[in-house]
């Protein structure tokens, strides 16, 4: 192995946490029906992301989201990437532990008609 591989591996693992941020933003977008700051120009969204607190479900008055879902999003959207959970740790959160089994989901989806197949 080349001497730079350990450093590259550490860099890769650290930077995989951008995917955790993206997952949190995607979950938030699905919950709200639009991306955070979606009504702003892209440069303003970039600056708001850098300078403001991360978007959350806590600021919404809507009570339909579980504490587990809100917590999952909040932990994904921590600004310091070293403080974000890994995917492995994220899957141990109560939100994911409450998820149905693959068999249940497959059985549930079996009743739907899909386009193109």
pLDDT tens, residue by residue, 63-105: 788 999 999 999 999 988 888 899 999 999 999 888 878 787 7
Res 2: pLDDT: 36
* Interval 4-24 mean pLDDT: 70
pLDDT of residue 48 exceeding 80: yes
| Per CATH, domain 5-109 is 1.10.510.10 | yes
Res 29: pLDDT: 93
Residue 71, CB half-sphere, CA atoms under 13 Å: how many? 10
- Using a 10 angstrom Cβ sphere, with 0-12 exposed, 13-18 middle and 19 or more buried, the burial of residue 71 is middle
Q: Specify the pTM.
A: 0.74
Q: In a 3-state reduction of DSSP, which class is residue 21?
A: helix
Token pair 């702003």 in the structure block, residue: 40
């Amino acid at each position: 192995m080349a001497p730079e591989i350990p450093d590259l591996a550490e860099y890769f693992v650290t930077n995989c946490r951008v995917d955790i941020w993206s997952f949190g933003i995607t979950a938030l977008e699905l919950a709200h029906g639009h991306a955070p700051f979606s009504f702003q120009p892209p440069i303003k969204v970039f600056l708001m992301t850098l300078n403001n607190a991360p978007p959350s479900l806590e600021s919404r008055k809507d009570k339909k989201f579980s504490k587990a879902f809100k917590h999952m999003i909040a932990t994904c959207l921590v600004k310091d990437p070293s403080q974000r959970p890994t995917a492995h740790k994220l899957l141990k959160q109560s939100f994911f532990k409450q998820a149905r089994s693959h068999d249940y989901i497959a059985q549930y989806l079996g009743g739907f008609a899909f386009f193109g197949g």
